[in-house]
A and B are shown apart, each in its own frame.
Chain A
Amino acid sequence: MSASQFLENFLQALTAGLLTGAIYGLMCVGLSVIFGVMRVINFAHGDFMMLGMYVAYYAFGTLGLQAIFGASAGPYAAAVLAGPVIFVAGLLVHKLLVSRVTGMRGSALSAEGHYAQLILTLGIALILQNGGLYLFGSAPVSIPTPLASSAWELGPLLGDAVSIFINQGQTVAAIIAVGVVVAFVLFMGRSPLGKSLRAAADNPEAATYMGIDVSRAHRLAFGLGVAVTAIGGGLLASGSSFQPYVGLEYVIVMYAGVVLGGLGSVSGAFYGGLTIGLVQQLSTLFLPNQLQNTAIFVVFLAIVLLRPQGLFGKALRRT
């Protein structure tokens, strides 16, 4: 491989990494909100993402967003619509199931409470995955969009040697993802509701003394967390095919990103997801395609073992 060809491959992988990484970042933000506020690791997170993909899929086709917004804009409108739908689903799942083992009651149970939450969400994950198999079938589907197969050419650069292609569909998706992340970070940082969510995250007991209904805050965080990730899923749905078990493939991607960013840090999670996207794409330069995910696991394990507070996070300090 000549140097210029390697450079071209490298830049191509870098671009692809940044674009998918932005969407991963969005998905990680969702997982991180849930952990940050509730201290619960949501095992079913990938499966809520899967639900988001199918919501976008059916909204685009069956509900007719394709007809309303056209073939180019329709998939993105559908992806954004997945947000509110999954938000409501998240609220319900929290109210009916998760809330029974979390909140003030969960924190009193200490370590055992945490395991109960973890294992409960594992159960929810199995129901969603396999229930999805029944509802949606096992055949892979995707949302067709003309943008997914069109690209901008950047270059030729360095004389004629290097030119890279930027997928239009992925670019639009990445821009939307970044937009959602920015809006979400502003919401958490500036709005009174966001501040009370952070207060509930910092110290649920003291938050109660401020008149904050902690279990409502948890419900909201759970709904927002799965909704944000569902939008990420909806954005991915137009670029790649998926089936009901797709959540498993992404769940490790999300955990890796969140841990990388420091458990509980919302903006850290975005950078973590971005990094994971880059690792995944850049690993294709050196490794066979099938080992992309293994590369992520290795990075994930290395981070967890060497720097559990994350690359971007500071050590969690709870008073």
Chain B
Amino acid sequence: MGHGIRRQALFIAAFGLVYALVVLFAHHSYYQLILTVVPIWAVMGLAWNILSGYSGFVSFGHAAFFGLGAYFVALAQIHWGLSPWIGIPCAGIVGGIAGLVVGIPTFRLRGHYFALAMLAYPLALLYVFEWLGYQELALPMQREAPLLHMQFTDHRIYAWLALALLVGAMLLTAWVERSRFGMSLIAIREDEAAAEAAGIRTVSWKLRAITLSGAMAGVAGGLYAVVLLVVTPPAVFGMLVSAQALIVAMFGGVGTVWGPVIGAVVLVPLSEVLHAQLGDVIPGIQGVVYGIAIVAVILLAPEGVFWKVRDLLRKRGIKAEASTGDPAAAVTASPVAEFPARKPRGKDEIVLEVANISKAFGGLQAVRDVGLSVRRGEILGIIGPNGAGKTTLFNLLNGFIRPDQGRVLLEGRDVGGLAPYEICAAGVGRTFQVVRPFRRMTVFDNVVVGAYVGAKSSQEAHDVARAAIKRAGLGRDALRTAGELTNKQLRLLEIARALAGRPKILLLDETLAGLGGAEVEEVIALVRQLAAEGITIVIIEHTMQAMVRLVDRFVVLNEGALLAQGQPAEITRNEAVIDAYLGRKWRVGNA
């Protein structure tokens, strides 16, 4: 990990050096200006990328932070004589606070609604600043002490300043990407609910992201004001500003340090030059170029130039290796293994107790007054027809939904109504009926995300993750991307991710679904092993033949209510259970 970051830093330094040299030889003031705005827009793109690229919450409103930064620097210099040397860092603070203030209400929204709400902020500010009479704000010339007020006769210095800012933003992004911060954001992007269930405090990470993102945009806006000397509401709060942040990032590639930089280096000079050359003949050429760039990127390389190129290079590499099939696919049917006898330990100690829990969705009573208790080290099977409320019960247990009434006691502590990450931290891990891996992360990173909840340092999280992967038997696949795993491997990955949180109790939702005969035996063996190691297991499953041999006890749900509970032998002969779930054919078969 550390090695990766060092290499990244080296690349960034090299890029900075080359760019600085290019600036050195730019003598025309027009090119100097272009060389200055390129890093500014790259920083803007990186700011957008921190929030939208990593967490997946697309913002159409980054102009709000940019504009506030620009106006802060201008107004502070005009009214208080504050030098931009201090004003620009303060603009970062202003942008950060604005981000936080915007984020707190707006993160209650998702998808389209979030994007639309973000659009409204800069446009509302635009009208407010016009109304305040700041139609055109010029930064006063400071002939006395120009250097103190960031005013240089050699315009290359602006470009170097902007470059320094960019290099800083790139290093920051590179660090975020490999840290717990970035990993949590990526997990949120891939599957927010699964991240929350794996112990990630999603709200808090999202707020940190928008704060940092707003701060970076504020700094970029502040420097922009100093460079252009004039600030107008449309120039800093306008739609084109938000669009430009998004475009340079999307064009270059989202979710990487290099994407926004590539985007800015290619697109900004292109549109500037076209604007200068053809602006008189074809007004609006700049916007048209951006528009065409967006359309082209979405249609041709929606993942951005950086990823497209990297995928092309990788593909070539893989072809050269010519791998010989997937060893995991070669699993063939094997005779049913005999399980080692397993004695439930600490028979009487109750780990989880559910008392009279109920949940209704609209008119549908999904879970009705269910009470049950689970003993330490036990394997409890939950069965019942589809729609009986099994998964809803799991969602109540891990905090995805709040019970209308009733209590959930984990080792005597009431966890009903806590957030999923809190319940995860308290020791409840879960898997999902339809697997929810973080598809574009590696197996290792998936499990690391699950390990953060109990780990004090990244190093510890990595160690815990490695152990969990080994326990789940995924050692050979640790560096593969989750998206390329087989169904069985995905099931194991979810178990490993849950194990990394060091749970006391594991909720397995149809973990055997869709597995072939031999695969079922493998996963069952793992579940038994985990139970033998002291983890309490609650499992929902339809495959009765496997369940009868796996579980110590059954709980049967029907239409949201508890129908029966007891030993496998009793349950399979229970008339009510046969009627509701097992079906008449079961009775005929057993008769």
B112 and A305 contact, CB distance less than 8 A:
no
Interface of B is mostly: helix
With the chains together, A41 CA to B116 CA distance in Å? 9
Give residues 127-184 of A contacting B (CB, 8 Å).
127-134, 137-138
Task: Name the B residues within 8 Å of A244 (CB-CB).
Answer: 284
Tell which of A49-57, A116-124, A211-219 binds the partner.
Answer: A116-124
Number of A interface residues in the complex (CB < 8 A) = 45
Closest to B132 in A: A290
With the chains together, A132 CA to B119 CA distance in Å? 22
- Indicate whether A125 sits within 8 Å of B291 (C-beta atoms), given known contacts A119-B298, A291-B131, A305-B108: yes
Instruction: Give per-residue flags for B123-151: 1 if the beta carbon is below 8 A from chain A beta carbons, else 0.
Output: 11001101100000000000000000000
Q: How far is the CB of B234 from chain A (nearest CB, A)?
A: 9
Give residues 33-51 of A contacting B (CB, 8 Å).
41
Closest to B296 in A: A123
Task: Name the A residues within 8 Å of B287 (CB-CB).
Answer: 126-127, 129-130, 133
Q: How far is the CB of A280 from chain B (nearest CB, A)?
A: 12
With the chains together, A80 CA to B493 CA distance in Å? 59
Number of B interface residues in the complex (CB < 8 A) = 43
B123, B130, B290, B298: the one within 8 Å of A101 (CB): B298
Interface of A is mostly: helix
A124 and B112 contact, CB distance less than 8 A:
no
Closest to B244 in A: A126
B120 and A300 contact, CB distance less than 8 A:
yes
B282 and A118 contact, CB distance less than 8 A:
no
B130 and A120 contact, CB distance less than 8 A:
no
B109, B239, B294: the one within 8 Å of A119 (CB): B294
With the chains together, A48 CA to B295 CA distance in Å? 17
Task: Name the A residues within 8 Å of B128 (CB-CB).
Answer: 291, 294
Q: Does B56 contact A (CB under 8 A)?
A: yes
Closest to B234 in A: A245
Closest to B112 in A: A41
A138 and B111 contact, CB distance less than 8 A:
no
B285 and A123 contact, CB distance less than 8 A:
no
Question: By CB atoms of chain A within 10 A, which of B105, B115, B128, B287 has the most?
Answer: B287
Task: Name the A residues within 8 Å of B299 (CB-CB).
Answer: 97, 100-101, 120
Closest to A123 in B: B294
B116 and A130 contact, CB distance less than 8 A:
no
B112 and A294 contact, CB distance less than 8 A:
no
Q: Does B293 contact A (CB under 8 A)?
A: yes
A116 and B302 contact, CB distance less than 8 A:
yes
A252 and B119 contact, CB distance less than 8 A:
yes
Q: Does B169 contact A (CB under 8 A)?
A: no
B58, B111, B283, B293: the one within 8 Å of A134 (CB): B283
Q: How far is the CB of A172 from chain B (nearest CB, A)?
A: 30
Task: Name the A residues within 8 Å of B292 (CB-CB).
Answer: 123, 127
- Indicate whether A259 sits within 8 Å of B116 (C-beta atoms), given known contacts A126-B287, A138-B283: yes
Q: Does B243 contact A (CB under 8 A)?
A: yes
Instruction: Give per-residue flags for B288-309: 1 if the beta carbon is below 8 A from chain A beta carbons, else 0.
Output: 1011111100110010000000
A252 and B120 contact, CB distance less than 8 A:
yes
For the complex of A and B, list the 9 residue pairs with the smallest distance between their C-beta atoms, beginning with the closest.
A123-B294, A130-B287, A130-B284, A126-B291, A133-B284, A127-B291, A297-B124, A290-B131, A123-B295
14 residue pairs A–B, Cβ–Cβ below 8 Å: A118-B112, A119-B250, A120-B294, A123-B292, A125-B291, A126-B243, A127-B292, A129-B291, A133-B284, A252-B119, A291-B127, A297-B127, A300-B120, A308-B113
